[in-house]
Structure 1
Amino acid sequence: MKALRELVDIVTKHKKKQMEVIGLDKDSPNRYDEFYDLLVAEQLPTERDAAQYFFGKDKSASFTQYRNFRNKFFRRLVNAVFLLDIKKPMFSESQNAMYHIRKNAVAARILAAKGATHAAVELAEKTIKPAIQYEATLEILELARIIKSKYILLTDNHKKLLEAKAIIDKSLLDLNLSVKAESLYYDIIRYYNTSRSTKPEVAALAEKYKIKLEKELPESESYRFRFFYFTIAKLACTTRHDYRGSLKVCKEAIADLEKRKAATPPAIAAFLHPTLVAATMLGQFEKAEAAATQLEGLNLPGSHNWYKGMEVLVFFRLHQQNYQEAYRVFKQARNHKRFSHLSAANQEQWYLFEAYVHLLIAMGKIKRSETEEKRLKLRPARLLNQVPLFSKDKRGLNIPILIVHAIYLLHLHRYEEAYDRMQALEKYAGRHLKATDDNYRSYCFIKALSKIPDADYNPEAAQRAAADLLREMGQQLLQFADTPHEVENMPYEHLWALAMETLMRPDRII
């Protein structure tokens, strides 16, 4: 009863007369609800748009009244976070449990801070068991500290006190290792914000961090520590194109995650993505197909992880030469209302896919409905303008931009422009690519393309002139430019076949 009395006392003293939560009172809508509805409908893309809508066309985002209004609106949204409906199918069991654990842990801390010790302890004792089951390290630490106070301030039970202390010590160790592993992970991926090209120094860094964390594996079974360890181990493989190693690490990671209650569907998907890529690169299409099937439904549509999954699906279907299915996945992702919320770098990957899709449509490899046929055609120059970040990436995703552009010009039979592009590509290869680096396949392919103008655009002559280069290219592994953006969204062998096919077409499109 002491716990209940403390709760009643605190709520009576400190509760607000009116809860400031968005969307709670639909019978009396106000400006905050209107702001909410406009944002849901994506009708106010910027702060400036919002300021002008509510306070006049001459107002900016820094207008004082707007800032005050916006900040109050923000607080109401934060209040609504504690009233989410997590029983919806989109939330997994672990996500549902973690929501309650975190909410209870925060409430217990607030109660303890207000002096409601009995209430705080009761809530902590009810919450710590599921927190341990779901490996909520930070919450376990806070809850155990509250429980420890019970056996110091309220009752004398030395055994329980020691148990609480042991939980605290373990949580501190797990938390320390998890934070360390997380920091090492971010130290690696920061290199890929705008450039997806291969970076040998990052491969060495990932290997170094993997070895460092391996030594600490016996110290902790923490979910987050193991998750980041496996992620870094996977990066140590993918950054040096070790696809077999990547498959092995991902298999171990998925087996480890699937036995834990804490594992979320997106966490498992994070290792299915590279599984799909590695299996595709190795030509193990059955294994890739199995990974693609497992990926279905693991990520919330429109989320960052969902888009990553859709990227690797398009990549797989292009390599599989299942172009119609690649187009279906592409359309689903590209037309989703959350596409505009992706970062510029992630949007550009989809613009690259769009270039491949348009080329395949133009060559009759993808069939479209009459409605889709009415949409705008790809303008060759438009592609380079659409991907400013990667077009400056001299040894990374700039390569497919230029190559698709060149083949599209060949398809259009715009030979003068194609000649200029082939010359530029050959100079590009000599300046930015080396015969000994990880872009050797790209080097060979660009050199092979440059033989086409030399052969006067005759497919048989071009095939003969490029034979040695294509043979050398075929002896090298496909390139993989890290999680999950690929230099070879389509294998160069397939692109060469398309280039030869364009030269065999009797019609000319000018």
Structure 2
Amino acid sequence: MEVIRELVDLVSRNKLKSIELLGQAEQGRTSMVNSLYFKIASGEFISDEEAASYYFGTLPADQGYRKLKNRLKNRLINAVFFIDTKQPGYTDWDQAYITCCKEWAAVKILLNRGASKVAVDLALKIFKHAQYYQFSELLVNISKILRLYYSTRQPDARKLKYYDNLHAEYVGLWQSENLAEDLYIRLVHNHLLNRSQATPGSSMAKTYYEQLRPLMEEHRSYHFLRHVYLLKVAALMEEGNYMETALACDEAIGALAEIAFVPPQALLTFLYQKLVCHIQLKDYPTGRVVVERALELENEGSYNWYKNRALCLLLALHTHNYQQAYSIWQHATSHPSFKQLGKRSAEHWKIYEAWLQYLIFIGKLSVYSPETNSKFRLNKFLNEVPTFSKDKKGMNIPILIIQILFMIAQKRFDAVIDRMEAIDRYCSRYLKQDENYRCNVFIRLLLQIPKAHFHPQAIRPRAERYLAMLRQHPLQISPQGHEMEIVPFEDLWEMTVATLGRKGG
């Protein structure tokens, strides 16, 4: 069902009418295929079990249901070729790429059926667009066909030499682009398998970047430069050198800006990386400049817009601009498109809400809004983030920390004591001296509070050892620190100790 739902969502978002998509139903009746499409699109069916039971009273393995689903799938795939790329949301690059791909498919079919003159005429048209937008794979394939055509079907020595030279040039470009992409994929894959912090000087990203750097003089295509600079940025990020990383992002943006067409997404990638640097450096003014530049390239309510808003919120939290952080959260979550966010993205915003509610609870943030009058329910919040609650080495960490902070602020000391042993085991099992090192230290710092019987003065001597460890491993050199530390731990510690000295809860 996931494949069908993705296709239905794609076609629905592109506003293809059902009559265009599925064909007109016989005798004016809604066909079963149309019916299945609309019920999936409306959210009435979210599983094969529901659909199979509704139409056939059987399980998804039933032959009749599988035929029905395959008919819908095939018609949806055919409909992809009729998506109107002139509607909002499609960049010039998107339009060119989709059009070239569709017309290239037509060229292959025409050649297969022996219509070589028509095929070549269309291929030459595609070739011009592919050259402008640097679609290297298409350039390799089209130059190959043109070279063959002018050597055998329509012999022309001059054109043969011309396309033969171009073919050799584009093969070299395509190979370099593939190498750059391959090295970047290997880096990302290795990071996902092994998230431990790399030792400075032994960076895989740095090795890959140095391997590609000599090729930059010859190849300046968008696809090649994008991956080379992603590797350079990753190498500097691994070293915790955020000032140099920000400069590398500027270099990447400058190099890409020299290309006539550059997709906004390419520039946004490096603007987001630069914004992360300013979050780590707690540089709010410069970060705001980056935010505003990114907003100019984004469509409000798009995936990238929400990514921008999330980074801007974190920048505000890391620089004590709590009121601004709340305004960003409120604007993003009240936007009409928020309901269309995927589950993981929506859970991120639930986590941000919990942290903002904590700041409200301890008096660091004053909000006069009907939405904040109702008491924040911790258990309800935990039920709303099921995906990240399972991510023990990732986003479950800020979820766990906010639970402890709320319990301490609410003076639920017995609950903290009851959870001490389980939290200690969690640290030992999941949080080691890698990118989660600061998280491990901070949670162990929080565990000193019950050991000191929740007395502010008695806690300070116990805390000094762990505070020194945080100082020795500052946020600025902690990979992904801005994601795990929604509020910097040093700030949180001062807030936590302050809540212990207050009466009530």
Pick the TM interval, shorter chain: 0.7 to 0.9
1:73 and 2:56 aligned: no
**What CA deviation, in whole Å up to 9, does each residue of 1:82-131 have, x standing for no partner?**
22121122111221222222222222222122211111111111221121
State the distance in 2 between where 1:218 and 1:189 align.
25
- For residue 411 of structure 2, what is the aligned residue in structure 1? 413
- For residue 219 of structure 2, what is the aligned residue in structure 1? 220
Higher helix share: 2
Alpha-carbon distance, 1:50 to partner:
2.6
Aligned residues of 1:144 and 1:165 also touching (Cα < 8 A): yes
- For residue 401 of structure 1, what is the aligned residue in structure 2? 399
Aligned residues of 1:307 and 1:333 also touching (Cα < 8 A): yes
Aligned residues of 2:449 and 2:459 also touching (Cα < 8 A): yes
State the distance in 2 between where 1:46 and 1:474 align.
50
**What CA deviation, in whole Å up to 9, does each residue of 1:180-211 have, x standing for no partner?**
22222222222455886645599722222222
Aligned residues of 1:314 and 1:329 also touching (Cα < 8 A): yes
1:470 and 2:467 aligned: yes
- For residue 488 of structure 1, what is the aligned residue in structure 2? 485
1:39 and 2:40 aligned: yes
Aligned 1:360-379 pairs, distance under 5 A: 360-364=359-363, 365=365, 367=367, 369-371=369-371, 373-374=373-374, 377-379=377-379
- For residue 445 of structure 1, what is the aligned residue in structure 2? 442
- For residue 99 of structure 2, what is the aligned residue in structure 1? 100
State the distance in 2 between where 1:101 and 1:498 align.
57
Aligned 1:162-177 pairs, distance under 5 A: 162-177=161-176
State the distance in 2 between where 1:359 and 1:340 align.
25
AA aligned opposite 2:99:
H
State the distance in 1 between where 2:72 and 2:366 align.
47
Alpha-carbon distance, 1:338 to partner:
3.1
**What CA deviation, in whole Å up to 9, does each residue of 1:254-291 have, x standing for no partner?**
11222224421122211111110101111222221112
Q: Identify if the C-alpha distance between structure 1 residues 415 and 380 changes in structure 2 by more than 3 Å, giving closer, same or farther.
A: farther
1:382 and 2:379 aligned: no
Aligned 1:71-150 pairs, distance under 5 A: 71-150=70-149
- Comparing 162-171 with 368-377, greater Cα deviation is found at 368-377
Q: Identify if the C-alpha distance between structure 1 residues 274 and 107 changes in structure 2 by more than 3 Å, giving closer, same or farther.
A: same
AA aligned opposite 1:370:
P
Aligned 1:198-237 pairs, distance under 5 A: 198=197, 204-237=203-236
The residue matched to 2:504 in structure 1 has which SS? coil
The count of residues paired between Structure 1 and Structure 2 equals 481
The residue matched to 2:124 in structure 1 has which SS? helix
Q: Identify if the C-alpha distance between structure 1 residues 331 and 49 changes in structure 2 by more than 3 Å, giving closer, same or farther.
A: farther
**Structure ranking higher on relative contact order (CA contacts 8 Å, 6+ apart):** 1
**What CA deviation, in whole Å up to 9, does each residue of 1:440-476 have, x standing for no partner?**
5445434443443344433354346535643553454
State the distance in 1 between where 2:327 and 2:315 align.
13
Aligned residues of 1:207 and 1:233 also touching (Cα < 8 A): yes
Q: Identify if the C-alpha distance between structure 1 residues 268 and 104 changes in structure 2 by more than 3 Å, giving closer, same or farther.
A: same
The residue matched to 2:486 in structure 1 has which SS? coil
Correspondent of 1:338 among 329, 337, 340:
340
Alpha-carbon distance, 1:415 to partner:
1.0
- For residue 52 of structure 1, what is the aligned residue in structure 2? 53
Aligned residues of 1:197 and 1:481 also touching (Cα < 8 A): no
AA aligned opposite 1:279:
H
Q: Identify if the C-alpha distance between structure 1 residues 441 and 388 changes in structure 2 by more than 3 Å, giving closer, same or farther.
A: closer
- For residue 503 of structure 1, what is the aligned residue in structure 2? 500
Q: Identify if the C-alpha distance between structure 1 residues 416 and 381 changes in structure 2 by more than 3 Å, giving closer, same or farther.
A: farther
AA aligned opposite 1:52:
S
State the distance in 2 between where 1:202 and 1:114 align.
57
Q: Identify if the C-alpha distance between structure 1 residues 81 and 252 changes in structure 2 by more than 3 Å, giving closer, same or farther.
A: same
Alpha-carbon distance, 1:147 to partner:
2.4
AA aligned opposite 2:294:
L
Aligned residues of 2:456 and 2:497 also touching (Cα < 8 A): yes
State the distance in 2 between where 1:53 and 1:241 align.
56
Q: Identify if the C-alpha distance between structure 1 residues 347 and 224 changes in structure 2 by more than 3 Å, giving closer, same or farther.
A: same
AA aligned opposite 2:56:
F
Q: Identify if the C-alpha distance between structure 1 residues 468 and 21 changes in structure 2 by more than 3 Å, giving closer, same or farther.
A: same
Q: Identify if the C-alpha distance between structure 1 residues 289 and 442 changes in structure 2 by more than 3 Å, giving closer, same or farther.
A: same
State the distance in 2 between where 1:195 and 1:331 align.
36
State the distance in 2 between where 1:187 and 1:41 align.
39
Instruction: Give ranges in structure 2 of 5+ residues lacking alignment.
Output: 1-17
State the distance in 1 between where 2:375 and 2:68 align.
42
State the distance in 1 between where 2:119 and 2:467 align.
71
- For residue 6 of structure 1, what is the aligned residue in structure 2? none
Query: Sequence identity of aligned pairs in percent?
Result: 27
Q: Identify if the C-alpha distance between structure 1 residues 119 and 180 changes in structure 2 by more than 3 Å, giving closer, same or farther.
A: same
- Comparing 472-481 with 249-258, greater Cα deviation is found at 472-481
Q: Identify if the C-alpha distance between structure 1 residues 458 and 358 changes in structure 2 by more than 3 Å, giving closer, same or farther.
A: same
Alpha-carbon distance, 1:482 to partner:
5.2
The residue matched to 1:252 in structure 2 has which SS? helix
